[in-house]
Structure 1
Amino acid sequence: MKKIRKAVIPAAGFGTRFLPETKAMPKEMLPIVDKPTIQYIVEEILDSGIEEILIISGHAKRAIEDHFDSSPELEHHLYESGKMKELEQIRRISDVKIHYVRQKYMNGLGDAILYAKDFMDGEPFGVILGDDVVYTGNGEPALKQLMDQYYKTGKSIIGCQMVPEEQVSSYGIIDGEKTEDENLLKVHDMIEKPSLEEAPSRFAALGRYVITPEIFDILEETKPGKGGEIQLTDALRVMAHCGNMYAYNFSGKRYDTGNKLGYLKAVVEFALRREDLGEDFKKYLKGLEL
């Protein structure tokens, strides 16, 4: 069983739900307090022990590359100003080993993952969607939780959590059975956005995966599905039908920052957790008269 050394972040989408802000700025760069969304994801990957990251970018995504690039002038200014905490933060960002490839056409998440084939070179790898943030506090990072399950099973792992009944129709829902570990499910199938009556469970696939390299051969044979796009879910279903897929109910609070309400919840709750902001921000919110 090969070690998981690499991860991919698909971040090529247009971010139309945040227009006009995202006309020139990637939605992955929208700040949660004072840190871009994608930095939370990169930090989770690093904290999981991953060595290299591939970001699948697209049109108008140069700001992502600039953010993770070195900045000698800024570092020198911070050093001269005695702002060593800020300097340490900036250096940690620029020390990350990140590679980039551009998805030329928006042909779906499955197509984006195909761009990572050469980079992965036959190895299993992690995937975190570029607008999906999970807060675990002092607990184990969500991706690391999935990696641990991969090392136990040797199979691809879908990150999942149970969603409320009214949200079932918004997600890909897991059809599977529990194993000896009640948080680990053997996946038989996945149903994309079913009605509550059609849903086999309330376990939804939530933006994190550990995938074995056989996915690439399957994706190359996958026909375009909904919207004329190559869907990752379709390829994962093939693997599930072959008995090569598990899902893990990971711990942590997940935020879908790709929609406005989810993004606002993340900003507010991350701010409230901050030692330097939390108490004052809480007082401000309690004093609001709306």
Structure 2
Amino acid sequence: MQETIVQELLCFGMAAGGGNPALVIQQDHSSAEQRQLFARDQRKPACVFIDCSGDGVIVLDYFYPHMRSSLCLHATLAAARVLLSPQRPELQVRTAMRGQPLMLILQDGEVFIQLTPQAVPEVSIPPELPGRLLAAPDIVLASPPVIASVGSPKLLLEVADSATLQALTPDLQAIADWGKQHGVSGCYAWCRRQDGALEGRNLNHLDQAAEDGATGVAAGALTVHLQTGISLYQGANVGTPCLLRTQLRDESILIGGKTEFA
């Protein structure tokens, strides 16, 4: 039996040696329970296992330390860096949990993921909900809250500015409970910067110390919502400054950023 290969990559970093870590695991034949234990023990933001289905399509199986995930785009970016080459600049894959098709693309030395908007659960958002989840009952959002998805639905909450964004101390238990009840993968609080870019924070881990440095599914959800390509800054507040870039291509969305082997 071939030996399991584990590689660590850094995704969406703004400088060499920076970015959101992900482990890419190949030639692994363990069960989902064993993979979950592995991901928990590694204490990396995400692990992606590369499998091959019976019909020959490559399947990506995602695990966070605390749960299996239907889609993790920074881990997908890491897998794309491992799988693509100038000889194979495009590759169709699918996700393990939901069979969602993804196109991996190598373009001008950078990797991108091409995917399409996904249906979102029909959820009523009462006026007091954002303030309750953000533990800021008097907060005034800059636009109405909305749920959007490229495979992992996010409640998008636009706040006034970067200072407001970074000062948030949300009720993480309330976010987790509400998200579980309605099939939504946490909140993504975001704002518009004066330079035209966006800035955001992903609020869906019960442990505040586990806040994500880069959230590709949120960048995709914002692109669906705003109907334009974006530059999205995230992670400086957790010591992992990242930049995510998206483009609209017909009915699809491209999500990419800097990716390197650790």
**Which interval holds the TM-score relative to the shorter structure?**
under 0.3
Q: Per chain length, whose mean CA-contact separation is higher, i.e. which structure has more relative contact order (CA < 8 Å, sep 6+)?
A: 1
Greater gyration radius: 1
Structure having the higher strand fraction is 2
Given the two structures, how large is their TM-score scaled by the length of structure 1? Answer: 0.26
Given the two structures, how large is their TM-score scaled by the length of structure 2? Answer: 0.28
